[in-house]
């Protein structure tokens, strides 16, 4: 069996961040957050890195990211565009309503599907997941059980931003397997309490240690036809809405509810951090500097 593939979703627009956070230099030698994911993946047995980007950022991505990795990384590119994989009638309507928002993370994965010929992990470019998460996922994907997938959750409180609300996939887990994922769109912490505000204004209190998805999923390539079916259903029901997005956590929930795959929950003593808002940047720089000072990462990742 081929070694696993890491799929890095780097086509985002960074609307809340105010720029392309997937290419924001946070490390001492110009490293961006995805550099650390790639580095951790390679030392956890992953053999290939597949970046999903937009064509309009390809030159900058090659210059700012890929040029530093050199021959150390076996990488490839896939492209997510507003017209990728979209039927003609849906595409015409999306243009009529001037849709600019990407179609979501599940769509991004499908844009890379033709290059997925081995078990793979899919994750966000603008999140830091920690080497422990890659170690447990790499071990799992070295010989994944038939009819199974996997994910690594994180404790809710450790994934919040002091700058504003965040979206998280709230996970229900039983006997080591995922039972459901509920995408909560407006989570924040105020006065020591964590809560989500629903679209109708209802507020729900959440436990600090509740497991949430940060998009760290492991699948076999056999899941791809199910992703296609899910995306086709999404387009039928929400394809003409200007801001609708097809999310990976919602796809996972659909797989479970339809008995298509069991998703094992892998435990890793790993910290997450990211840059949802521009104000998160300073904290991320500090975290990376600390990890480097402790010897977890070399000062220069790609020598």
Instruction: Centre a 10 Å sphere on the Cβ of residue 221 and count the other Cβ atoms it contains.
Output: 15
Structural domain spans, the chain: 5-293
pLDDT band at 108 (very low <50, low <70, confident <90, very high): very high
Beta strands 262-265 and 48-53, pairing class: unpaired
For the segment(s) 5-293, the CATH number from 3.30.750.24, 3.90.550.10, 1.20.1340.10, 3.40.50.1000 is 3.90.550.10
Mean pLDDT of 292-303: 93
Convert the pLDDT of each residue in 252-273 to its tens digit.
999 999 999 999 999 998 989 9
What is the rounded distance in angstroms from the CA atom of residue 254 to the CA atom of residue 252?
5
Per-residue pLDDT at 287 exceeds 60: yes
**Confidence grade of residue 212 (pLDDT, cut at 50, 70, 90):** very high
How many other CB atoms are found less than 10 A from the CB of residue 12?
21
Say if residue 277's pLDDT is above 90. Answer: no
Burial class (CB in 10 A: 0-12, 13-18, 19+), 218: buried
Q: Tell me how far apart the alpha carbons of residues 5 and 44 are, in angstroms, rounded to a whole number.
A: 11
pLDDT band at 1 (very low <50, low <70, confident <90, very high): low
């Amino acid at each position: 069996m081929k070694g696993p593939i890491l799929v890095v979703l780097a086509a985002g627009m960074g609307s809340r961040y105010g720029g392309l956070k997937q290419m924001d230099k946070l490390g001492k030698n110009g490293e961006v957050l995805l550099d650390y994911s790639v580095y951790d993946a390679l030392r956890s047995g992953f053999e290939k890195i597949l970046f999903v980007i937009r064509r309009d950022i390809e030159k900058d991505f090659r210059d700012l990211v890929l040029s530093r990795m050199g021959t150390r990384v076996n990488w490839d590119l896939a492209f997510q565009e507003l017209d990728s994989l979209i039927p003609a009638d849906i595409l015409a309507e999306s243009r009529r309503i001037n849709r600019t928002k990407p179609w979501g993370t599940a769509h991004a994965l499908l844009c890379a599907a033709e290059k997925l010929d081995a078990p793979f992990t899919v994750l966000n470019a603008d999140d830091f997941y920690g080497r422990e998460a890659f170690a447990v996922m790499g071990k799992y994907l070295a010989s994944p059980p038939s009819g199974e997938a996997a994910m690594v959750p994180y404790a809710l409180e450790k994934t919040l931003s002091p700058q504003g609300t965040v979206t998280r996939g709230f996970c229900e887990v039983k006997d080591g397997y995922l039972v459901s994922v509920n995408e909560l769109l407006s989570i924040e912490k105020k006065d020591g309490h964590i809560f989500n505000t629903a679209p109708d204004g209802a507020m729900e209190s959440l436990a600090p240690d509740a497991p949430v998805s940060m998009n760290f999923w492991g699948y076999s390539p056999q899941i791809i036809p199910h992703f296609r079916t899910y995306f086709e259903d999404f387009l039928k029901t929400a394809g003409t809405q200007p801001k609708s997005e097809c999310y990976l956590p919602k796809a996972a929930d659909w797989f479970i509810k339809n008995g298509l795959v069991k998703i094992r929950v892998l435990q890793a003593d790993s910290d997450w951090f990211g840059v949802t808002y521009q104000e998160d940047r300073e904290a991320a720089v500090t975290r990376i500097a600390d990890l480097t000072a402790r010897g977890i990462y070399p000062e220069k990742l790609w020598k």
